[in-house]
Structure 1
């Protein structure tokens, strides 16, 4: 079974900005989402950042568990650093390829590993610290969602309309276009088709949770591979943001209750209130980037090897979005191991 990259946490963050301060005060259920990571001094510093309306960053992680019968810890198949800058009125997303080759600090003897396994082998604290050092950027907050989050999010808003960038069929249980439970998406259309027996197809004009899951999971039939999947996830994200323009959709107890069961974060209720109150203008310009790597195979396993140039560009984008000075990026393989030479002109960061 192949994994899904989750986008729900970024949507939640932006929803809070769209919905606004006065609405958030109605629900205390968000308290259930809180977890404690890091030391107290960091929490105090983060609170000061939000109170002072300074730019902040959130590491968004999505695990491949919580649906389709999966209950294990899982891997973080979504890795995205989101920065919010109220002065520049910008929100910037920088995705890190889940297959990025790394040596996990303290576990270098298991090299090579994929960056999505750092959380699996360690914990949330080390994942935050390792990714922060990898790109040499500060991370104020972390949010982690399981695989059931996207389904619940889309269903709770009454479905979304998304125009597919390509035609494909996909079965969430086989991870291919085989089997009876198939979703068929048409290039340039917001309509899609679904069958449960492989014969009788039903046309739908609104994409609900299970269809959104299928739409964002397909990888091998996309000419852009995993990067194409990231693009489709962002299309669903944008559709959710459009729904957020009507804040009443998100003011039910059931909506917040569903979040509390799928989200772990060190963002406190007070933090969320401060974000909604002080960062509303950051929604005016949303910028999206992905760090690209070069394909490499090691013992039959596919990896993405990110060049030092692309890694540095990712660092530059994040630091610039936070209003910080330039700085050299971190170790190209995260942990202490032999560096790998990568052609610098093969790939580049993609901005959308």
Structure 2
């Protein structure tokens, strides 16, 4: 495919979709497929393997040995919202999460890297500054995994690339979800604001909501379909808690999906599993998923979430998040500790070759902290 210009990528940037569904994928892919009856094994194997796509991960550890010995493993979870995963325009990975799973400690840690983190993309330093969510746009899945692995100086054993646009299908496949809204707000999926067609009205403390296809004539509903769940979890601008509030609502949607999908009936449902496999690309084989599900299953009961402590800076009218050296080192220390690895210096401060870029003085000051 011919390389798009930087401006073209911005010009047709897709609207943001629900990125929190990635937590649901963690549970299903890593822990949900367990104790499968022999009669369904072959069918499920073929379905899940449709999501398999290898990657050239540098310095990859011996994953077979790790799983056999029940050692901690790492998975890079990336969420993109560009419809089909195989379309020519890849979009950005607005969700970037390093997951460590420790079966002996029975814990799973989710470390989020903000999508607006300032980087110099390896091989594209002339375009500095860029945001870390565009590494995948410029390169490919292998280079994205390798860049983030080197950036944090943490080995990455597996990756999972998730199409967040698949949320609607997943909610519809489980028969819809019932959620009490934590606040009152109106939202249109068409405009990402209060006005427009396909408007929803949610009410604090109530699972009842209203919907108007034309944006004017509302009807009352008690269960969210996929489109309603997408609207409920997308809104950010009217939430006094901003992104934190949106994340909270995303978790509510995920929890509701899990309640509906935790039964063997759903795990063995071909349409449901096909929906997952068509919206995920991963280098995890079905055999590895089964082994992880059997040996690492209890790690799902103790899940902790962490995120990078970064500084917000403005450059040419664009907002970025900047990792200071000290905070980046803390993040590396935590991730390596979760993987039971020895202490090591964090990776390059801007991911790419810093000598090839000119860093503004005020940003340099933040980097050096």
Normalised by the length of structure 1, the TM-score is 0.88
2:295 aligned with 1:269, yes or no?
Answer: no
Identify which of 84, 108, 120 aligns with 1:103: 120
Contact 2:33 2:290 in 1 (8 A): no
Q: Which residue of 1 aligns with 2:364?
A: 340
Quote the residue 1:180 is aligned against: 197
State how far apart, in whole Å, the 2-side matches of 1:249 and 1:148 are.
20
- Distance in 2 separating the partners of 1:139 and 1:189: 42
1:20 aligns with 2:34: yes
Larger radius of gyration: 2
Paired residue secondary structure (1:289)? strand
Give the alignment partner of residue 189 of structure 1, picking from 188, 194, 206: 206
Instruction: Specify which of 28, 33, 52 is matched with residue 34 of structure 1.
Output: 52
Q: Could you tell me how far 1:117 is from its partner in structure 2?
A: 0.3
- Find the aligned partners of 2:209 and 2:326 in 1 and give their Cα distance: 40
Cα offset for 1:102?
Answer: 1.0
Deviations 1:289-328 (Å, cap 9, x if unpaired)? 2224332222222222233343333323322322223333
Alpha-carbon offset, residue 186 of structure 1: 2.7
Report if the CA contact (8 A) 1:60-1:81 is conserved.
Answer: yes
Q: Which residue of 2 aligns with 1:239?
A: 256
* Contact 1:5/1:76, CA 8 A, preserved across alignment: no
The residue number in structure 1 matching 2:9 is none
**Cα distance change, pair 328–107 in 1 and its aligned pair in 2 (3 A):** same
Q: Counterparts of 1:1-352 in structure 2 under 5 Å?
A: 2-16=15-29, 17-23=31-37, 25=41, 26-27=43-44, 28-38=46-56, 42=60, 45-66=62-83, 72-337=89-354, 338=359, 340-342=364-366
The offset of 1:343, in angstroms, is: 8.9
Give the Å deviation of 1:71.
Answer: 6.6
Residue 152 of structure 1 aligns to a residue whose secondary structure is: helix
Contact (CA 8 Å) 1:65, 1:71: kept in 2 or not?
Answer: no
2:18–2:167 contact (8 Å) kept in structure 1? no
SS at match of 1:93: strand
Distance 1:159 1:166 in 2: 20
Q: Which runs of 5+ in 2 are unaligned?
A: 1-13
- 2:240 aligns to what SS in structure 1? coil
**Secondary structure of 1:193's aligned partner:** strand
CA RMSD, Structure 1 to Structure 2 (Å) = 2.6
Tell me by how many angstroms 1:76 deviates: 0.7
SS at match of 2:201: strand
CA distance in 1, matches of 2:155, 2:211: 44
TM-score calculated relative to the size of structure 2 = 0.84
- SS of structure 1 residue aligned to 2:312: strand
Q: Matched residues in 2 for 1:202 and 1:277: separation?
A: 46
CA shift for structure 1 position 39: 5.8
